[in-house]
């Protein structure tokens, strides 16, 4: 691991960072980036195997995005979208998102992050329920192991135990089954059978709570921060009829999957989802500007507008939502993905990425190698037949991330998994480089944990 840098490090509170590693080695201070690589202050080079945080997908020095930002800053460096005033770039981007949505859509609301966008959706659902004479319709359904953000509400939607540290979840949030077939499936249960059981669990939960108390259901097409967990076969085809039958809107959290990560424009397309609301962020600006977007179906738009009429306005918004510079950057990003050949490039290189990923299933420490498009994860286990993880105090996934870093590769540890989500511009040669480093890393860490186990 790089030696700690002593100046200024004590003033910074690191989010979602492994504290023992920080205490031992200090932070890696990133200085600049070129293509899919970043460089620290000592000049060491790292292949960014997670696109930063899923988002810097077009390179860390993309000249077209820099130029779009520079031009936008020179023209109108800041404005809001309150009181009927908005920059032209906001209108243009909204129309573009409506046109490319995975379902019929007609309105877009802008926030500054995926967390804010998901939080905004909950307020919209509650606004509609209140106005429609159903104030009891406050329950939000989500899934164990999902991730939807870090605000108080979206941390509640995130089905992970660590949010208990904040006294969460809020009472209005309820969970249904984690759709991870490898982890949750019964012996001999096929993916289709498991999907049917997930749908039955959803039906039972709705019956238990009362359909007239439920405002909406949130789902990522692929669980991202849950460890890149694609849905089992037939999953959304099984649960969507349940939601429709009970009049419960489906919210597709496309923060990670949206704009190409799964190999399609949307994860919803990949997995046959027809959402009522789509939430996008991350890739929308390729990490060059904070932005989140909520895309509404015509039915939801009509209901939100009818509910807002009581107040003569939609009573919600963010100062920097629809920021003119962010919207200009987003337009340039979508130009590259849609017209610039990036989506076709993802489709061309993804088969190699998935072949190299799935080949690691044979490694003695890998219980499952899973993924789709340019995203994947390795589930690290101590025993393959029982799927037993290594003792938590061994920090094996952290060790893998640390050794990979030493060899010039950034990967993300997530519980007992190691996650990959490289930039969309990665080449086949760079994919081979990534997996060569990762294979070497796994062998090194395996040798060290075998010594611990001896």
Residue 117, CA distances (Å) to 111, 124, 292, 293, 323 in order: 6, 11, 5, 6, 14
End-to-end C-alpha distance for the chain, whole angstroms: 25
What pLDDT, in 10s, does the model give residues 229-242? Answer: 999 999 999 999 99
| 47 HSE (CA, 13 A, CB side) | 22
Q: What is the spatial distance between Cα 82 and Cα 316, in angstroms, rounded to a whole number?
A: 9
| Residue 174 CB coordination number (10 Å) | 17
Query: Mean pLDDT over residues 305-317, rounded?
Result: 96
pLDDT greater than 80 at residue 454:
no
**What is the rounded distance in angstroms from the CA atom of residue 378 to the CA atom of residue 360?**
8
What band does 31 get if pLDDT is binned at 50, 70 and 90? very high
Over the stretch 364-408, which tens digit does the pLDDT of each residue have?
999 999 999 999 999 999 999 999 999 888 999 999 999 999 999
Contact 159, 144 (CB under 8 A): yes
- Residue 164's Cβ-count burial label (10 Å; 0-12, 13-18, 19+) is exposed
What would the mean pLDDT of 7-12 be, rounded to a whole number?
Answer: 71
169: preceding bond cis by omega (within 30 degrees): yes
**Sequence-distant (≥ 6) Cβ neighbours of residue 343 within 8 angstroms:** 260, 265, 337
- % of the chain with per-residue pLDDT over 70: 98
Condensed to tens digits (0 to 9), the pLDDT of residues 427-437 reads 999 999 999 99
Q: What is the mean pLDDT of residues 326-330?
A: 98
Instruction: Flag whether pLDDT at 123 surpasses 70.
Output: yes
Give per-residue pLDDT as tens, 332-343. 999 999 999 999
Average per-residue pLDDT for the chain: 96
Band (pLDDT 50/70/90 cuts) for residue 12 is confident
426 pLDDT more than 70: yes
Instruction: Give the model's confidence band at 7: pLDDT under 50 very low, under 70 low, under 90 confident, else very high.
Output: low
Residue 20 — very low, low, confident or very high, per pLDDT cuts 50/70/90?
confident
The 10s digit of each residue's pLDDT in 185-196 is 999 999 999 999
Q: Contact at 8 Å (CB) between 121 and 279? A: yes
Average pLDDT over residues 306-326: 96
The side-by-side arrangement of strands in the sheet containing 45-48 is 30-34, 37-40, 45-48, 409-410
Q: What phi and psi, each to the nearest 5 degrees, are found at residue 214? A: -105, 125
pLDDT (average), residues 351-355: 98
* Fold matches, 9-61+342-453 and 76-339: no
pLDDT at residue 3 greater than cutoff 60: no
Residues contacting 314, CB < 8 A, separation 6+: 304, 305, 308
Q: What ranges do the domains of the chain cover?
A: 9-61+342-453, 76-339
Phi–psi pair at 67, nearest 5 degrees: -65, -40
Q: What is the pLDDT of residue 130?
A: 97
What is the β-pairing status of strands 214-219 and 45-48?
Answer: unpaired
Is a pLDDT exceeding 70 seen at residue 272? yes
Task: Report the candidate in 194, 228, 225, 224 with the shortest Cα–Cα distance to residue 371.
Answer: 228
Phi, psi of 192 (to 5 degrees): -65, -40
Q: How far is residue 269's CA from residue 272's CA, in Å, rounded to a whole number? A: 5
pLDDT for res 392:
84
pLDDT for the residue 8: 59
Helix, strand, coil shares of the chain, percent, nearest 5, are 45, 15, 40
Whole-model pTM: value is: 0.95
- The whole-number average pLDDT for the span 69-73 is 98
- Strands 45-48 and 366-372 come out as unpaired
**189 CB-contact burial (10 Å; exposed 0-12 / middle 13-18 / buried 19+):** middle
Instruction: List the 139-143 sheet strands across, edge first.
Output: 107-111, 292-296, 277-281, 250-253, 214-219, 139-143, 173-176
- Residue 5: is its pLDDT beyond 50? no
Lowest mean pLDDT among 27-31, 280-284, 326-330: 27-31
119-to-59, 116, 274, 317, 444 alpha-carbon distances in Å: 29, 5, 21, 11, 42
Class of the CATH-defined domain 9-61+342-453: alpha beta
pLDDT value of position 26: 84
- Which structure tokens are listed for 243? 């939601």
Is the CB of residue 36 less than 8 Å from the CB of residue 47? yes
DSSP codes of every residue in 20-52: HHHHHH----EEEEETTEEEETT--EEEETTHH
Number of helices followed by number of strands (H, E) in the chain: 15, 15
Q: What is the CATH number of domain 76-339?
A: 3.40.640.10
Look at the block and give the residue holding tokens 């990967």: 411
């Amino acid at each position: 691991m790089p030696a700690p840098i002593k100046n200024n490090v004590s003033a910074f509170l690191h989010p979602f960072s492994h504290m023992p590693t920080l205490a031992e080695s200090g932070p890696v201070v990133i200085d600049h980036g070129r293509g899919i690589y970043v460089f620290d202050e000592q000049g060491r080079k790292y292949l960014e195997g997670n696109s930063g945080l899923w988002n810097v997908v077009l390179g860390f020095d993309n000249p077209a995005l820099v130029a779009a930002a520079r031009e936008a800053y020179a023209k109108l460096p800041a404005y809001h979208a309150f009181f009927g005033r908005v920059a032209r770039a906001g209108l243009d981007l909204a129309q573009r998102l409506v046109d490319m949505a995975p379902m019929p859509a007609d309105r877009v609301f802008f926030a500054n992050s995926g967390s804010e966008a998901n939080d905004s959706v909950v307020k919209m659902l509650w606004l509609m329920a209140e106005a429609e004479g159903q104030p009891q319709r406050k329950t939000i359904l989500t899934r164990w192991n999902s991730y939807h953000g870090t605000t108080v509400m979206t941390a509640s939607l995130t089905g992970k135990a660590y949010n208990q540290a904040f006294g969460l979840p809020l009472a209005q949030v309820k969970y249904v089954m984690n759709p991870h077939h490898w982890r949750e499936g019964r012996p001999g249960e096929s993916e289709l059978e498991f999907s049917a059981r997930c749908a039955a669990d959803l039906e039972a939960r709705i019956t238990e709570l009362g359909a007239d108390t439920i405002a909406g259901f949130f789902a990522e097409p692929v669980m991202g921060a849950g460890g890149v967990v694609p849905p089992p076969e037939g999953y959304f085809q099984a649960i969507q009829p349940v939601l429709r039958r009970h009049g419960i809107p489906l919210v597709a959290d496309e923060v990670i999957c949206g704009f190409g990560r799964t190999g399609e424009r949307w994860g919803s397309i990949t997995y046959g989802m027809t959402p009522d609301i789509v939430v996008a962020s991350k890739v929308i600006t390729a990490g060059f500007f904070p932005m989140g977007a909520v895309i509404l179906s015509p039915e939801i738009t009509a209901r939100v507008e009818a509910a807002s009429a009581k107040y003569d306005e939609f009573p919600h918004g963010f100062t920097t939502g629809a920021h003119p510079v962010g919207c200009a950057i987003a337009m340039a990003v979508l130009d590259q993905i849609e017209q610039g050949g990036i989506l076709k490039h993802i489709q061309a290189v993804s088969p190699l990425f998935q072949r190299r990923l799935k080949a690691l299933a044979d490694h003695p420490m890998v219980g499952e190698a899973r993924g789709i498009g340019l995203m994947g994860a390795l589930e690290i286990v101590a025993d393959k037949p029982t799927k037993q993880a290594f003792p938590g105090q061994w920090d094996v996934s952290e060790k893998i991330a640390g050794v990979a870093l030493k060899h010039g590769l950034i990967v993300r540890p997530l519980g007992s998994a190691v996650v990959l989500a490289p930039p969309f511009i990665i080449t086949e040669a760079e994919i081979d480089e990534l997996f060569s480093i990762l294979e070497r890393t796994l062998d090194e860490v395996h040798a060290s944990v075998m010594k611990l186990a001896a």
